[in-house]
Structure 1
């Protein structure tokens, strides 16, 4: 469990593919068993990468890993809000 977050993934909505370890990747949420952070994975998806492209670059990634990373991000949005510029 990472003390930098008010919550952790163990037992939360079945996040069994996301781990947070203080000594691994600076305590950032990672795909279990790997040094691939949820943030990095989501940035790739946000940049337009398909699941197939992600799997080509990171063959260990399964569709369920990506699904949980997205679900984890949606869960964390409840805790942290970024300012969004209002449209005219």
Structure 2
């Protein structure tokens, strides 16, 4: 699936997925959300981000996990 807001470039953050035009990794956004941080607080920490960028990070992660192989015991 194509995610227009998320980019991967080996010259930016070692190729990790980041929000386009920033150096903010998808992983960082997800970790902050997982720790209970509200999107508004993330936006205050990273003023170049938007609510749509946070949603794009979540959608990217969901699509990535949907393509993972499931291994049972």
**TM-score interval w.r.t. the shorter chain?**
0.7 to 0.9
Whole-angstrom CA distance in 2 between matches of 1:21 and 1:35: 11
Q: Deviations over 1:19-60 (max 9, x none)?
A: 000111010000001111000110000000101100110011
Structure 1 residue aligned with 2:10, among 9, 22, 33? 22
2:56: which partner in 1?
68
Q: Per-residue deviation at 1:79?
A: 2.6
Whole-angstrom CA distance in 2 between matches of 1:49 and 1:55: 10
**Per the alignment, do residues 20 and 48 of structure 1 end up closer, same or farther by CA in structure 2, a change over 3 Å counting?**
same
Q: Per-residue deviation at 1:82?
A: 8.1
The answer as to 2:24 corresponding to 1:36 is yes
Consecutive unaligned residues of structure 2, counting only runs of 5 or more, are none
Q: Which runs of 4+ in 1 moved over 6 A?
A: none
More helix, by proportion: 2
**Per the alignment, do residues 16 and 41 of structure 1 end up closer, same or farther by CA in structure 2, a change over 3 Å counting?**
same
Consecutive unaligned residues of structure 1, counting only runs of 5 or more, are 1-8, 84-88
Q: Deviations over 1:5-31 (max 9, x none)?
A: xxxx6xx2xx11100001110100000
